[in-house]
Structure 1
Amino acid sequence: MSAYAHGVDFYFNDVHLGADALFRAGGDDPVVELRVVTRRPDDLIAIAGTQLVRATTIIDVREADIAVPAEGDTFEIDGIVYMIDGEPRRRDDDHRIWACGCRKVAA
């Protein structure tokens, strides 16, 4: 295993960064238990010459856990359900991490 692969595992398994989650393809069973990292960066949107700040939720997941996440798939973290909203993208050049833009659908 490469040093980068070890770093990815450390990133997801860190108790302060990673979280246990349940993944459902298409929002349905079967359930896959995995570790994710949730990020909530602000997104700047320009509308009619005005910049607005929009809160976003990005859930990082290992490619080893989910080969191809898709729009409509869901993650449940601490009882809150997030749905992938849009096309997930690769976060790294080695294709080890998916970045999934999500929105909260249930609590």
Structure 2
Amino acid sequence: MDAFKEALDILFADLDLARDVTHTAMDGSTAVQVRAILRRPDEITGFGEARLWSETTRLDLRVSEVAAPRPGDGIELDGEAFTIQGEPVRDRERLVWTVELRPA
């Protein structure tokens, strides 16, 4: 497992891949600067016979920096405020959280 953690540390340190964001707990008690990898994939959702296209904003956060992100927590990214929506999901190795964001 240490090899995975070391590889993730290298990825999250990469200036072209990861960026600094501020994570703030929903109650406003703590605000910490952490490294995150931004992903903005298009998503197609079925609704009856219709297929709806939408943009999404997701972040990967290291569990070592954000132990327990929750829906309603805030993320500041490049001067824009976002809120975590839905339940965060951890990867198989339990090293990275993926959170979906909506504008605050």
TM-score bracket, shorter-length normalisation: over 0.9
Amino acid at match of 1:13: A
Q: Quick check: 1:80 aligned with 2:80?
A: yes
- How far apart are 1:29 and its partner, in Å? 4.0
Q: Which runs of 5+ in 2 are unaligned?
A: none
What is the CA–CA distance in structure 2 between the aligned matches of 1:49 and 1:13, rounded to whole Å? Answer: 44
Residue in structure 2 matched with residue 19 of structure 1 by the alignment: 19
Any idea what SS the aligned residue of 1:59 has?
Answer: strand
Q: What's the TM-score, normalizing by structure 1?
A: 0.90
Q: Secondary structure at the match of 2:70?
A: coil
Aligned residues: 104
Superposition TM-score, scaled by structure 2 size? 0.93
Alpha-carbon offset, residue 51 of structure 1: 1.0
- C-alpha contact (below 8 Å) 1:86/1:101 kept by paired residues: yes
Q: Give the distance between the partners of 2:30 and 2:88, measured in 1 at CA.
A: 20
Q: Secondary structure at the match of 1:12?
A: helix
Is the partner of 2:87 in helix, strand or coil? coil
Q: Match of 2:92? A: 93
Provide the aligned C-alpha RMSD in A: 1.4
Map residues 17-96 of structure 1 onto 2, 5 A cutoff.
Answer: 17-26=17-26, 28-90=28-90, 92-96=91-95
Q: Which residue of 1 aligns with 2:103?
A: 104
Structure 1, gaps ≥5 residues long: none
